[in-house]
Structures are given as structure tokens and as C-alpha cells.
Chains A and B, each alone.
Chain A
């Protein structure tokens, strides 16, 4: 089955600890994204990657880091510098994020999410 997987489903972080959220896709998509969702709020962009070995900061990148060493994988690390990490984290991918004139290319598909809680 093609799709996006995120693990773990729930993650607990202790004070001062870095934690890494996994995101894998087998859709052969070039672009991948990380969002944060707080209760009752929309999605805020943390980081995105248009292609392997390339990524850009989104609106709330402080306290987070990413890597894109493989096309299929885009892990997100929540560092100890992120003082309020409790949230629902969503990973997404799209065929591409580049101008193409093809409507479906930029459509993003989401994983099931990881809920991060602070102990």
C-alpha cells in the first residue's frame, strides 16, 4: 500500500531531552512537510523539503531540526530549545512543490500524526 507513515503514535519527552519523530513515504514524492497542530487550531508549517538534501524553514522552525538524506524519509527532531512542544505533529508529502501548472502536483497527503506530550 502506498502512503505516509509516522511513528510513534504517541511520544513522551522529558525536560531537556531531544526527541525525533519519524516520517516515511513510499509515494515517490519529491516534497515533504512538517506541521504542528495545537488544540482547536489550524496547521502551522515547521519545515519543508522540496528535494533530497534540501530543506527550508517554515513559520515556526525555532526549536526544531530536520534532515532529508533519503527521498522517502524526513525525520523531525524536537530539541530542548522548544519550550512548548506539546502538540499534534503531522507529516505530509506532495509530488512536487515547484511551479508546474499541473493542479494535482502540489496536493499534499498527510500521515496519521504523532502526539507529543511532555512529562
Chain B
């Protein structure tokens, strides 16, 4: 079983829809959680990071962390065709390996 599980999609939604992207994880030591967006043949770019449990909002993006369930989410409001990309979750703790552990990524397609 992978440490971080993420549905690969593709997830196809109409423009303006609310998108929900999720990851589950098994390592309770993870404390820092990040979401990256990756366009085809480009390097991932950081969208959001959160520490421990709770919510964080930045424009159309909201990140949620539920450590008790080992479940993190990224919500995208008013989705746009330019949001079409692969979304990667990543996480790390203060103990154990000192590098991010990534999910496999969810491919999102926003239809105009």
C-alpha cells in the first residue's frame, strides 16, 4: 500500500463547477501538507500549503486537512479551463524522511 493515495482521474467538469480533489495517507507523522499544480511538460508549481489540521483559503482555492481521518482536500471554486492540469498532493513530517512524499496526481479537465 502506498503511503499517499490519490485518485488519478481524469476528472472532467464544466466551467464554473466546484472541484474537489482528495488524498488519503497512512503516516500519522505527516504534519505539513502541500498542493501542487502541474501543466503538461512543466515543473509543478506550489498552490497551497497547510500545517496540521484546519482550512486555508487563497482566492478560488481552499485546502482542508483532517489529520484524525488522514485525509486532505483541495477545493477549486468557479473552475476555469486554465485550471486544467494535474494536481499533486504532497506531505512531510518533522520525523522520518526529510523529503516530500507525493501522491500520484489527479488529472483535471475543465470543459468550456
Chain A 63-99 per-residue mask, 1 if CB under 8 angstroms from chain B, else 0: 0000000000000000000000000101000000111
How far does the Cβ of A57 sit from chain B's closest Cβ, in whole Å? 11
Bound complex: CA A45 to CA B34 (Å): 16
Q: Is the CB of A31 within 8 A of B98?
A: yes
How many chain A residues touch B (CB < 8 A): the figure is 32
- Closest residue of chain B to A43 (Cβ to Cβ) is B102
> Would A109 and B99 be within 8 Å (CB), given that A42-B88, A42-B105, A101-B94 are in contact?
no
How many chain B residues touch A (CB < 8 A): the figure is 26
How far does the Cβ of B46 sit from chain A's closest Cβ, in whole Å? 6
Query: Is A2's beta carbon under 8 Å from chain B?
Result: no
The one of B51, B102, B104 that contacts A103, using a Cβ cutoff of 8 Å: B51
Q: Is the CB of A115 within 8 A of B45?
A: no
Q: Which residues of A contact B94 (CB under 8 A)?
A: 99-101
Q: Is the CB of A103 within 8 A of B46?
A: no
Bound complex: CA A111 to CA B88 (Å): 16
Q: Which residues of A contact B102 (CB under 8 A)?
A: 35, 42-43
Bound complex: CA A88 to CA B90 (Å): 18
**Which residues of A does B touch, CB under 8 Å?**
4, 6, 31, 33, 35, 40-43, 45, 48, 50, 56, 58, 88, 90, 97-101, 103-104, 106-113, 115
Top 3 closest pairs, chain A to chain B, by CB = A103-B51, A97-B98, A42-B104
